[in-house]
Amino acid sequence: MTSEEIRKRFLSFFKERGHAIIPSASLVPENDPTTLFTGSGMQPLLPYLLGEKHPQGTKLADSQKCFRTQDIEEVGDNRHTTFFEMLGNWSLGDYWKEEQIQWFFEFLTKEVKILPEKLWVTCFDGDETLGLSKDTKSAEIWKKLGIPESRIRFYGAKKNWWSRSGVPENMPAGEPGGPDSEVFYEFTQVAHDPKFGAECHPNCDCGRFLEIGNSVFMQYVKKEDGSFELLPKRNVDFGGGLERIAAASNNNNDIFLVNYNYIIKGIERVTKTKYEDNLQAYRIIADHIKAAAFLIGDGVLPSNTDKGYILRRLIRRGVRYSDILGIDKEFLSTLVDFVIEKYKDVYSNLSERAPIIKNEIKKEEEKFRDTLSKGLAVLNKELKAQIVKRGEAVEAQKISLIQGPGNVQISDYRPPNSMVTGRWLFDFYQTFGFPVEMIIEELKSQGYYFSPKEYKRLANEFKEEFEKHKEVSRAGLEKKFKGGLADTSEKTTMLHTTTHLMLAGLRNFLGEHVHQAGSNITPERTRFDFSHPEKVGRDILDKVEKYVNEAISKKCDVIIEQMPKAEAQKKGVEGSFWERYPDMVNVYMVKCEDGTIYSQELCGGPHVKNTKDIKGVFKIVKEEAVSAGVRRVKAVLE
Ligand code: SER
């Protein structure tokens, strides 16, 4: 079965069982300062898991776009990807273990037609010190469904507990979490690799087992004193990797062959090479180009910090690996067409933003190709010089068995690590545009070995250099934060409502084509990106200021109205990416006593209750270009 078919079947399976189907949220989390990207299905639903009422009810299902930064360097084997779709179903204080486990089992075996004897399951073993009991209930349900005891394993919190911050010890107060029960598919054709331990088991990393679904029984919330209490309502949070389920359904342990064939074929055609001979390069290019397309589709642009840096790293790494395949011309921006074509009907923003996606990848590719070969030549020269200097030549230390990521080649000598300092890495990055992680990857392929401790030290040193440089080159360095609202302090909240008013003002004076393209709000100021083709004159900015200040001085109420999406659209409510929102939406309105509506926008809050709570005079202090068709303003309350 293909991933398209599995996605469709999953959603209709849960629809038939009373679930509302909700659209995927953006990869760029809205108003969530804790994370750079949406990496699981539950993140966008957090308020509802904590008890807020969801406009669509208590049973939901979706397929959520996810991106996991921590997996970038894992890509290259047959199962890791940075971008994936996570099928999800939720019970918000509704059904519990019995229904969840039974439904998922039925879905896998009846809908996807996976043989039950290929499935293993794991359950939570409990943690006495934290007062968390063993999940024998889930195990019983699995047994009733026919999974023999020999294929049910219990693990501790490291494996069978889920929260956004991992194990119970790492959870901050107020964070929800709970035990989970995972399902694994066994590729019996893959022999166990003893390198990973004497005995193979579901959580062994040798590749015989693949996790295909995780039912989290989210019933606890962490307290200030470190103990756990029960949530007012217990939830089920199920997540299953769509591409992995497809791999299991085909009994093929190569996620790429099953799900990325359309890109693989494209690479083969252009490079005249074969996938089988270049597994790592193909997989990296395929994963990174798909992820880059989706990230740009959700508004991320290449830059030197945060999300933009990760995107830049993906594209540049893609260029490096296409160089390995012998490509020295525009390549990635042509591959991206395949991705857009394949997903355009499911994720409409991909086709809407297709020209921007292509153009950004093309620009970034061109920029990096210019310096890639020069950089590699310098790197090799410096490494050789270092070896000669130490008089070690080829006789040097033999380090035959050091394993790099994926299947990088390890040469049999090791140049001294002393050359590699944060400063050196930074200079290299500055001159040639190699993201630091990529330089280290190059060094590893040359036989370097970095212990995790060394790696951390280098990363920190690099960061220091980076910060120093920023301070020198740009006075008044801005505090670094991760996107959306930096926090939920009173000042940030004030500026958030003010930002709504500003957008309404911009649309009022510039036209309806103006939409939000990104925002960053701290207690000090709001930074706001919007679609508009040219510079905005001071006269218009003055009018916008006046509009906002008028709404502030008129002491208008900020009210939330729930309404059907279609009605909101008809009323002219502002919002970008309508397809991400459910059929019932929350509209925040700034409405004055005289009936004037200053702003009406889709949002999840938080906002002030009345504009009289906004302290200060609104001022737009800067207007500049961000990229083609996108402008940025900075504004403050003085
Ligand atoms: N939140 C869980 C996970 O990401 C299940 O959806 O695995």
250-279 pLDDT per residue, tens:
999 999 999 999 999 999 999 999 999 999
Nearest residue by C-alpha to atom 2 in ligand 1: 239
CA distances from residue 422 to 60, 308, 416, 451 in whole angstroms, order as listed: 47, 21, 15, 15
> What pLDDT score does 411 carry?
42
Tell me the Ramachandran region of residue 207: left when phi exceeds 0, alpha when psi lies from -120 to 50, beta otherwise.
left
Fill in the amino acid letter for 135: D
Task: Please state the atom number of ligand 1 nearest to the C-alpha of residue 39.
Answer: 4
What are the pLDDT digits (tens) for 177-211?
Answer: 999 999 999 999 999 999 999 999 999 999 999 99
Distance 184 CA to ligand 1 centre (A): 14
CB 83 within 8 A of CB 67: yes
Burial class of residue 476 (count of CB atoms within 10 Å of its CB; 0-12, 13-18, 19+): exposed
Domain boundary among 371, 395, 416: 416
- The more confident residue out of 627 and 181 is 181
How far apart are the CA of 38 and the centre of ligand 1, in A? 12
Same domain, 452 and 409: no
Give 276-318 pLDDT, tens digit per residue: 999 999 999 999 999 999 999 999 999 988 899 999 999 999 9
Answer for the pair 483, 307: CB distance below 8 angstroms, yes or no.
Answer: yes
Mean pLDDT of the chain: 88
Q: How many CB atoms lie within 10 A of CB 260?
A: 26
Beta bridge partners of 268: none
Tell me, yes or no, whether 84 and 204 share the same domain.
yes
Look at the chain and report how many structural domains it folds into: 4
DSSP letters, 90-114, are EEESS--HHHHHHHHHHIIIIIS--
- Ligand 1, atom 4: closest residue by C-alpha: 40
Quote the ligand 1 centre to 50 CA distance (angstroms). 16
Residue pair 354/278 in contact by the 8 Å Cβ criterion: no
Instruction: Please check the confidence at residue 362 and state whether its pLDDT lies above 70.
Output: yes
CA-to-CA distance for 593 and 556, rounded, in angstroms?
7
Q: Read out DSSP for 144-173?
A: HTT--GGGEEEE-HHHHEEETT-SGGGPPT
* pLDDT > 50? residue 582: yes
Length of the chain: 638
Q: Which residue's CA is minimally distant from atom 6 of ligand 1?
A: 239
Cα of 3 to ligand 1 centre, how many Å?
Answer: 19
As a whole number of Å, the CA-based R_g of the chain is 26
Kindly give the distance from the C-alpha atom of residue 249 to the centroid of ligand 1, in angstroms, as a whole number. Answer: 20
Q: Can you tell me which atom of ligand 1 is nearest the CA of 88? A: 6
> Which of 42, 70, 164, 236 gets mutated to test ligand 1 (max ligand atoms within 8 A of its CB)?
42
Residue 396 lies in a domain: yes
Tell me which residue has its CA closest to atom 5 in ligand 1.
239
Query: Which helix (H) or strand (E) is 520 found in, with range?
Result: strand 516-521
Tell me, yes or no, whether 218 and 354 share the same domain: no
Q: Do both 386 and 421 map to the same domain?
A: no
Q: For the sheet with 584-591, list strands across it.
A: 557-564, 584-591, 597-602
Residues 335 and 196 in one domain: no
Q: 161 pairs with which residues across the strands?
A: 179
- Bridge partners (DSSP) of residue 2 are none
Burial category of 506 from C-beta neighbours within 10 Å (exposed 0-12, middle 13-18, buried 19 and up): buried
Atom of ligand 1 nearest to the CA of 239: 6
Domain end point (choices 258, 292, 327): 258
CA of 318 to the centre of ligand 1 (A): 28
Pair (69, 204) in one structural domain: yes
Atom of ligand 1 nearest to the CA of 40: 4
Highest mean pLDDT, choosing among 43-47, 470-474, 604-608: 43-47
pLDDT score at 400: 33
192 and 43 part of one domain: yes
Hey, which of 35, 216, 217, 244 would you mutate to test ligand 1's pocket, going by the most ligand atoms within 8 Å of its Cβ?
216
Looking at the structure, tell me whether residues 287 and 146 fall in a common domain.
no
Q: What is the pLDDT of residue 557?
A: 95
Ligand 1 midpoint to CA 313 (Å): 26
CA nearest neighbour of 331 among 340, 344, 342, 322: 322
**Domain assignment of residue 349, given as a range:** 260-416
Q: Which residues form ligand 1's pocket by a CB distance below 6 Å?
A: 40-42, 88, 162, 214, 216, 237-239
0.85 cut: is pTM over it?
Answer: no
What gap in Å lies between CA 350 and CA 334, rounded to an integer? 15
* Beta carbons of 238 and 215 less than 8 angstroms apart: yes
CB 158 within 8 A of CB 167: yes
pLDDT digits (tens, 9 = 90+) for 81-104: 999 999 999 999 999 999 999 999
Is 478 a member of any domain?
Answer: no
Within this chain, do residues 269 and 355 fall inside the same structural domain, yes or no? yes
For residue 303, the SS3 value is coil
- Taking the centre of ligand 1 as the mean of its atom positions, its distance from the CA of residue 42, in whole angstroms, is 7
Residue in 336, 275, 256 with CA at minimum distance from that of residue 3: 256
Kindly state whether residue 479 falls inside one of the protein's structural domains. Answer: no
Average pLDDT for 363-378: 91
pLDDT tier at 585 (50, 70, 90 boundaries)? Answer: confident
C-alpha of residue 167 to centroid of ligand 1, in Å: 13
Res 578 pLDDT > 80: no
Query: Quick check: helix, strand or coil at residue 498?
Result: helix
Say if residue 225 is in the same domain as residue 362: no
Spatial distance between the Cα atoms of 365 and 545, rounded to a whole number of angstroms: 40
**What average pLDDT score do residues 537-563 get?**
94
Q: Are residues 348 and 455 in the same domain?
A: no
* Protein residue with its CA nearest to atom 3 in ligand 1: 239
Same domain, 459 and 532: no
